[in-house]
Amino acid sequence: MSQEAPSTSTIWWLARVIAIVVGVYVLLAYVVLPALWFDYEHQPGLAGRNMVTANAQGIPGDPLNVGVVGSKAQVAYAMTLAGWKPADAITFRTSVEIGLSVVLDRPYADAPVSNLFLDGRKQDLAFERLVDGSADRRHHVRLWHILDKGVEGHGVWLGSATYDRGVGVSHDTLQITHHIDPDIDRERDFVITSLKDAWIVQQTYQVTGTGPTLTGRNGEGDSYYTDGEITIAVLDPALDPNAPAAHAPVTPVVKTSRFAETKQSIWNAVLKAARAVGLAPKRP
């Protein structure tokens, strides 16, 4: 028994359905979602800027994921209040000292961090917090001065916060280096929480950084995944590094853009699915 060929009207109906589906996909993928994801509502001066660092060889490094608003003195003072130590400069002595700290498992609270570069300029500030007393495991953040005056009327600093989980060999350069934990969003949140816990943050909000990725790789060949957002902490303008008396505690206000909750819901769903199929590690 021969099958009856589809009628012309059926073919045209299918063609219209396919055209609508393709049109909706193009609209979502290339217009709606990009407009939804890239959001600089709270800090327009950051739009269009490079959001990925590079190492000394020019290989893309860690993405920017954290920010602070305040003067240089305020930022340095705030990080100290939040329990962070300024990192030593890289010298022969400090390089030997960090090596001995790792090998002998002894404390070096202000161990140097390797230089990363943003638009050809190395970090302006670097801070760290050791874990278990040894420099092979530590929280650390590098900060660059990006804007002299943001919407709050103060300087804007952006940084890259990562957690060093141990020492090893770079996958790209074969040099001895630290390897980072892939969940850089968790480290971003750790930095912001430490500042909030010091009661010196006036408000927090997010702007878009690199955008979401599950398959990022930094300059040492370490993988990472991120929702691509930068969380910015606005320091209390009254914070005075020259008068380190008890500071009046400030309860931060979280400013959420009109798209932030939707973006976070989308990312959480994608990350959950990626973890379920092994594309992203599960949190311990």
Is a pLDDT exceeding 90 seen at residue 1? no
Q: DSSP string spanning the chain?
A: -PPPPPPHHHHHHHHHHHHHHHHHHHHIIIIIHHHHH---TT-GGGTT---EEE-TTS-EEEEP-EEEES-HHHHHHHHHHTT-EEPPP--HHHHHHHHHHHHHT---TT------EETTEE-SEEEEEEETTEEEEEEEEEEEEEESS-TTSS-EEEEEEEEEEEEEE-TTT--EEEEE-SBHHHHHHHHHHHHHHTT-EEEEEEEE-S--EEEEE-TTS-EEEE--EEEEEEE-TT--TT--SPPPP--PEEE--TTHHHHHHHHHHHHHHHHHTTSSPPP-
pLDDT at 8: 77
Determine the 3-state secondary structure of 209 from DSSP: coil
**Could you tell me which of 181, 167, 54 has the C-alpha nearest to residue 121?**
54
Is a pLDDT exceeding 90 seen at residue 170? no
pLDDT tens track for 187-218: 999 999 999 999 999 999 999 999 888 889 98
Tell me what the pLDDT averaged over the chain comes to.
Answer: 82
pLDDT tens track for 50-64: 999 998 889 899 999
pLDDT tens track for 245-267: 667 788 888 988 767 788 888 88
pLDDT at 157: 98
102-106, 184-188, 211-215, 225-229: segment of lowest average pLDDT: 102-106
The residues spanned by each domain of the chain are: 39-276
pLDDT at 236: 95
**Residue written as tokens 């050809």?**
120
**Residue written as tokens 């003067």?**
71
Q: 5 pLDDT band (50/70/90 cuts)? A: low
Averaged pLDDT for residues 79-96: 71
Most confident of 34-38, 168-172, 175-179, 280-284: 280-284
